């Protein structure tokens, strides 16, 4: 492998070490730790596993995390009501409120997310937080986008004046990351292209990227022939694929064909162990920020 590894897991560990001290300072001053409430609807295995790792990470840095469960049969009104009750601190102080996505298909997801008050919106999905980010004065930045930028800054990958290509235009990853890259300052000042399912000549556009981020959800989408030699390749995708050799019969892969791209790229992030742990670390940072802003 020629590329250097963008080790998200190691960086997340270092971020947690810093956060642990800051959380302790907060708890001493306020008399309680910051508190995160996660709403988990239904029994989807992937969602339950993400929530479990978020709660475990919170515990490692001393943030109090509570998971509030709702049955898969809950309707939109009930979930909006639950989020409103959490916002009134009816389940204890809720500095940060997060609704684990995806919600069941019968739910109006936007309405539920809109019920999370902007100042507790640690996922950064509220229109007010999206607006602040687009104006270059971010408050809560969506965790995955923030994690990708942090990863590149930490590795010393220059973004200023460089061409960043993002595949994927979701509100959760692609769009906020484009705003971060295009913004002023460290980890920004890039020339940004967003590609999506309707983009023509995806491979040609990707080959022009100094920084290439894949956030699609399609295993093997990015191949070596799409990567400029020396480029930094960040793989946001999480896909479960069959693997008869694994004990569970499956394994996680990203959107990038890791083995071949690692021979061409200058930097590459693995899956698992890349963007995922940083997403969680950024959530913890946002929760501490929410608690601090509230005080």
Closest CA to 83 of 120, 53, 31: 120
Q: Which of residues 16-75 bind ligand NAD (CB under 6 A)?
A: none
The bridge status of strand 96-99 relative to strand 35-41 is: parallel
Catalytic residue flag (residue 78): no
Residue 193 makes contact with ligand NAD by CB under 6 A: no
DSSP structure class, residue 100: P
Catalytic residue flag (residue 135): no
CB of residue 13 to ligand NAD, shortest distance in Å = 16
CB of residue 191 to ligand NAD, shortest distance in Å = 19
Residue 196 makes contact with ligand NAD by CB under 6 A: yes
When binding is defined by CB under 6 A, the residue of 44, 85, 202, 224 that contacts ligand NAD is: 202
| Integer-rounded Cα radius of gyration of the chain | 19
> How far apart, in whole angstroms, are the C-alpha atoms of residue 64 and residue 228?
44
Active-site residue (options: 64, 95, 121, 123): 123
CB of residue 165 to ligand NAD, shortest distance in Å = 11
When binding is defined by CB under 6 A, the residue of 144, 149, 269, 287 that contacts ligand NAD is: 144
When binding is defined by CB under 6 A, the residue of 217, 223, 251, 252 that contacts ligand NAD is: 217
> How far apart, in whole angstroms, are the C-alpha atoms of residue 140 and residue 168?
21
> How far apart, in whole angstroms, are the C-alpha atoms of residue 231 and residue 76?
44
List the alpha helices (DSSP H) in 200-274: 202-206, 258-261
Residues binding ligand NAD (CB under 6 A): 144, 167-170, 172-174, 195-197, 199, 202, 215-218, 236-239, 275-276, 279
């Amino acid at each position: 492998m020629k590329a250097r590894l963008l080790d998200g897991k190691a960086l997340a560990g270092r971020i947690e070490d810093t956060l642990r001290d800051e959380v302790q300072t907060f708890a001493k001053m306020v008399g309680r730790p910051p508190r995160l409430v996660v709403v988990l609807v239904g029994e989807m295995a992937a969602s339950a596993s993400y929530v479990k790792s978020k709660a475990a990470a919170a515990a490692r840095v001393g943030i109090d995390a509570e998971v509030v469960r709702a049955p898969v049969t809950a309707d939109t009104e009930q979930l909006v009501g639950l989020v409103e009750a959490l916002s009134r601190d009816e389940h204890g102080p809720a500095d940060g409120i997060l609704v684990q996505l995806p919600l069941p298909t019968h739910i109006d997801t936007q309405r539920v997310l809109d019920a999370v008050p902007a100042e507790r919106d640690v996922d950064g999905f509220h229109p007010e937080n999206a607006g602040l980010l687009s104006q270059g004065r971010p408050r809560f930045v969506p965790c995955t986008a923030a994690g990708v930028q942090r990863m590149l800054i930490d590795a010393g990958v220059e973004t200023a004046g460089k061409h960043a290509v993002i595949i994927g235009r979701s509100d959760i990853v692609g769009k906020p990351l484009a705003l971060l890259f295009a913004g002023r300052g460290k980890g920004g000042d890039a020339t940004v292209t967003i590609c999506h399912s309707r983009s023509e000549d995806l491979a040609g556009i990707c080959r022009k990227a100094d920084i290439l981020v894949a956030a699609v959800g399609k295993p093997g989408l990015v191949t070596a022939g799409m990567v400029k030699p020396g480029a930094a390749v960040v793989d946001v995708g999480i896909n479960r694929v069959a693997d008869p050799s694994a004990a569970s019969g499956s394994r996680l892969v990203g959107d990038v064909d890791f083995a071949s791209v690692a021979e061409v790229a200058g930097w590459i992030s693995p899956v698992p162990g890349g963007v995922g742990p940083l997403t969680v670390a950024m959530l913890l940072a946002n929760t501490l920020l929410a608690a601090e802003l509230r005080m």
